[in-house]
Amino acid sequence: MSDPRQLALQIQINERASLNNFFVSKNNNKTIQILKNVLFSSKKGAQMFIDDFASNGKTYLLQAICNDYSSFKNSTIYIPMQKAIILEPSILAGVSELDLVCIDDVDLMNKQREWEIALFNLINECYEKECHLLLSGSINKLEVMPDLTSRIKKMEILRLETIDDDELLEASKAISNNLNIEISDKNMNYLINNSKRDIKTVFKTLSKLEIESLERKKSIGLNLIKEVIQSF
């Protein structure tokens, strides 16, 4: 179950996110398998960092892990630093009492001294209390205090690789199936070829198409795809 602070922080999580519908490319199969083996075993207190430099799906992955882990009656919280960075670092106080803490985009804490100290303390607390801690961001972008950098680099570092072009159509079709929307292969190829070629952009575009299709009560054709692409 999600921690009540998730609601109090007004941080929404994609309730449909699940590892069951996360497209696992051949480049990322090993990473996903390690995550599953560690988080869904009897082992406690794992500390891992998902290194994702190029928008390869880390946010969806963290939310999927939170949802799936919660389904086994475990307590979890997902904290996206894109929204949390404007809040007080004290929101991390006590979260080590949970079973799983996921913090997205930790490199946004760069040169935010109070946040850096709060994360450093949380890493220690999670270790002591055997709470799983899963961080994500870009290792190369980290510019935090040396002690925190050292702690993070001692974690198990798992890298999310870019989905190859030959798998991008398959990944896009998997996303559309999960969203229950129908798009022909021809139109899907148009979407891919006329958008930024990364899975985050594809997911964002398809999610917007789902909303527009429902609101307008019409199927998704080429004109609507063009309109949504141009809106970004």
Quote the pLDDT of residue 140.
Answer: 86
Domains and CATH numbers, the chain: 4-159 (3.40.50.300), 165-231 (1.10.8.60)
For residues 160-169, average pLDDT: 90
Q: Is the pLDDT of residue 227 over 90?
A: yes
Quote the pLDDT of residue 214.
Answer: 94
Query: Among 81, 88, 70, which residue's Cα sits nearest to residue 104?
Result: 81
Gap between the Cα atoms of 115 and 134, Å rounded: 16
What tens digit of pLDDT does each residue of 50-92 get?
998 777 889 999 999 999 999 999 999 999 999 999 999 999 9
Gap between the Cα atoms of 16 and 60, Å rounded: 10
Gap between the Cα atoms of 214 and 50, Å rounded: 34
> Taking all residues of the chain, what is their mean pLDDT, rounded to a whole number?
91
